[in-house]
């Protein structure tokens, strides 16, 4: 149980294009989903918290107009990197917390974004 | 300032050599402490959640313990497949989760 998927697992795009990453909780309903980015050999940095049906809460320093988050249902959240630039290249990981259960977050497998 | 510190940063052990990883924390109001395992290029894999001092949980060769200031992840007779980065994270009352920088564990055959 508690499986989270991400799609795509890897994406390469040109500078200036937008990229959408999907995060799904496969076998549970998630009231809250989280988006992280991770640079090589560093820990996870929280970008934003999204609750189903409401606007995402962004961490300080994260541009909400650049990283668009939509949490349309209890099993799906999307992160769109708009007008991507090489400095946006990173490993993006989502996590989900089960509705009404413990505070444990279950993580997806991550998406490697490379912007040329 | 709230903080989660993991030590050591890296650890090399021979297969079968037991050891412990440390996670010390300073937060105002602990809601939960989490241990995850992360392999290169993958998302963190959930291992344990601990809620209160004195609590212990075990899974195969791993055992996690919690005090009011720190948590230990004990690994008994490790195998090469236990090599990974082990992440500790702490959740405060306001739902904010703080991750440590991790311990890179390498088990030599």
Phi, psi dihedral angles at A103 (to 5 degrees): -75, 0
Residue of chain B whose Cα is closest to the Cα of A49: B96
Q: With CB atoms and an 8 Å threshold, state whether A104 touches B102.
A: no
Share of chain B above pLDDT 90, in %: 84
Cβ(B85)–Cβ(B38) below 8 Å: yes
Identify which of A43, A102, A110 has the shortest CB distance to residue B42. Answer: A110
Spatial CA neighbour of A49 closest among A64, A65, A38, A27:
A64
- Residues of A engaging B, defined by a Cβ cutoff of 8 Å: 2, 4, 6, 32, 34, 42-44, 46, 49, 91, 93, 95, 102-110, 112
pLDDT in tens, B60-92: 999 999 999 999 999 999 999 999 999 999 988
User: Measured in Å, how far apart are chain B's first and last C-alpha atoms?
Assistant: 41
- Residues of B engaging A, defined by a Cβ cutoff of 8 Å: 31-32, 34, 36, 41-46, 49, 87, 91, 95-97, 99-102
Phi, psi dihedral angles at B18 (to 5 degrees): -75, 150
Q: With CB atoms and an 8 Å threshold, state whether B41 touches A49.
A: no
Phi, psi dihedral angles at B77 (to 5 degrees): 45, 60
Residue of chain A whose Cα is closest to the Cα of B48: A104
List C-alpha distances in Å: A19 to A4, A81, A112, B47.
20, 5, 11, 31
Q: Please list, in sequence order, all residues whose beta carbon lies within 8 angstroms of the beta carbon of residue A103, skipping any fewer than 6 positions away.
A: A97, B31, B32, B49, B91, B95
Q: Please list, in sequence order, all residues whose beta carbon lies within 8 angstroms of the beta carbon of residue B30, skipping any fewer than 6 positions away.
A: B51, B90, B91, B92
pLDDT in tens, A64-115: 999 999 988 889 999 999 999 999 999 999 999 987 767 889 999 999 999 9
Phi, psi dihedral angles at B69 (to 5 degrees): -125, -15
């Amino acid at each position: 149980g508690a499986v989270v998927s991400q799609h795509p697992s890897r994406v390469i795009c040109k500078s200036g294009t937008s990229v959408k990453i999907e995060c799904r909780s496969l076998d549970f309903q998630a009231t809250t989903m989280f988006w992280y980015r991770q640079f090589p050999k560093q820990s996870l940095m929280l970008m934003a918290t999204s609750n189903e049906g409401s606007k995402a809460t962004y961490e300080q320093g994260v541009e909400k107009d650049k990283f668009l988050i939509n949490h349309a249902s209890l099993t799906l959240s999307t992160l769109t990197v708009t007008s991507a630039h090489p400095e946006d290249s990173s490993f993006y990981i989502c996590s989900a917390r089960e509705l009404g259960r413990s505070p444990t977050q279950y993580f997806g497998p991550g998406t490697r974004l490379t912007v040329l | 300032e709230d903080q989660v510190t993991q030590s050591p940063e890296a650890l090399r052990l021979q297969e079968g050599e037991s050891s412990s990883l440390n996670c010390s924390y300073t937060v105002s109001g602990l809601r939960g402490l989490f241990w995850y395992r992360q392999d290169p290029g993958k998302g963190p894999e959930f291992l344990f959640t601990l809620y209160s001092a004195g609590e212990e949980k075990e899974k195969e060769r791993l055992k996690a313990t919690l005090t009011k200031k720190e948590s230990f992840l004990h690994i008994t007779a490790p195998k090469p497949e236990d090599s990974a980065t082990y992440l500790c994270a702490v959740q405060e009352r306001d739902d904010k989760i703080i991750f440590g920088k991790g311990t890179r564990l390498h088990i030599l055959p």
